Amino acid sequence: MSATKKPLHVTITGAGGQIGYQLIFRIASGQLLGPDQPVVLRLLEIEPAMKALQGTVMELDDCAFPLLSDIVTTTDANVAFKDCSWALLVGAFPRKQGMERKDLLQTNGKIFGPQGRAIAAHAAKDIRVCVVGNPANTNCMIARLSAPEVPPERFFAMTRLDENRAKAQLAKKAGVAVKDVTNMTIWGNHSATQFPDAWNARIGGKPAHQVIGDEAWLRETFIPTVQQRGAKVIEARGASSAGSAANALIDMVNSIRAKTPGDDWTSLAVPSRGEYGVPEGLQFGYPVRCDGNGGYKIVEGLKLDAFAQEKLKATAKELEEERDAVKQFLGA
């Protein structure tokens, strides 16, 4: 019964940005935590974006969402993460022209370290953290290592947009409905080194690469299309993916909350314990099955041929380089 459930607190960082705008209304309408779960939205922004955020809050009021118990807006991470069960870390410092990747990593390290500590200090016991702000995997690792009191398996970086993109491309090529494409893994980093795995994916239950029957297309068109999709959207729209990113984040949270159906899996970037030879501690995109109680297992034993192993190595190497660039932020 909606009237009797205790509200859950959901924190969105960068709430005044374009993904935030696509996300907030859907969460307030019940699409994140269900149609009978009241929510308190806790919206974190930096000072220059507070005015625009107040405009969004006016719009939220004007929706009269029955599930929206309260809205908190703040520039203080200690306030933002208070009692929070779901921390959606969307805000990040964008890459400016002429900025080196290392500078971007370090600038974001300064954001995600303190946010990790604020989560550890103030969040609810059942906290789950989903990181979208780029470079998402490494930002997530920084937040996780800054919050040693929180179990590491509560931290996820988002590869779901890449998973959805990959499924859509395979469905189009095979001429099937997107729901028929399952078991899609995005290995590694949410970056151009990611490896969307059409060889372990399935279409109508059969190996996707066999159904497609065109290895050259898979290697030379499918993989780069998924890797470069974000850049193509920017080229066309003049702005980065926002509707699809917010949608992917909602999908991701729903996948973490539910038991993964049948023998399917989903893609989540979780802390590596060395699975598939990936260096321990990296936040790495893996095939994952969730148990419906907030826990998950990485799917092990998938076949990776020499081509796939090379791809995994390359994306792991990039994540190691990112880790080296932010060494000073790793640890509470």
**Residues binding ligand NAX (CB under 6 A):** 13-14, 16-20, 44-46, 49, 90-94, 111, 132-134, 136, 158, 161, 190, 230, 240-242, 245
Q: At its nearest, how many Å lie between ligand NAX and the CB of residue 110?
A: 8
The CB-of-207 to ligand NAX minimum distance in angstroms stands at 26
State the Cα–Cα distance between residues 218 and 210, nearest whole angstrom: 11
The least distance separating ligand NAX from the CB of residue 262, rounded to whole angstroms, comes to: 25
Q: List, in sequence order, every residue forming a beta bridge with 284; answer none if it has no partner.
A: 270
Shortest-Cβ-distance residue relative to ligand NAX: 17
State how far the Cα of 45 lies from the Cα of 302, in Å rounded to an integer.
41
Q: Is 248 helix (H, G, I), strand (E, B) or coil?
A: helix
Nearer to ligand NAX, 241 or 260 (CB): 241
Least spacing, CB of residue 152 vs ligand NAX, in Å: 19
Select which of 9, 122, 190, 209 is catalytic.
190
Q: Which pairs with CB-CB distance under 8 Å and at least 24 residues apart come from 175-181? A: 176/203, 176/204, 180/204, 181/208
Neighbours of 81 (CB within 10 A): 29
Please report where in the chains the tokens 């370090």 appear, as a residue: 106
20 versus 281: smaller Cβ distance to ligand NAX: 20
Nearer to ligand NAX, 183 or 247 (CB): 247
Residue 190 annotated in active site: yes
- Residue 63 to residue 81: CA distance in whole angstroms: 24
Taking the complex as a whole, how short is the minimal distance between the CB of residue 151 and ligand NAX, in angstroms? Answer: 22
Between 211 and 319, CB nearer to ligand NAX: 319
DSSP state of 140: H
* Closest C-alpha among 327, 322, 330 to residue 135: 322
Which residue lies nearer to ligand NAX by CB, 181 or 245? 245
The answer to whether the CB of 43 falls within 8 A of the CB of 52 is no
Q: Which of 283, 259, 280 is nearest to 269 (CA)?
A: 283
Which residue, 40 or 87, is less far from ligand NAX as judged by CB? 87
Categorise residue 144: left if φ over 0, alpha if ψ from -120 to 50, beta otherwise.
alpha
Q: How far is CA 54 from CA 43, 49, 57, 78, 229, in A?
A: 10, 9, 5, 20, 32
In the complex, what is the shortest distance from the CB of residue 183 to ligand NAX, in angstroms, rounded to a whole number? 20
Which residues are part of the catalytic machinery?
190
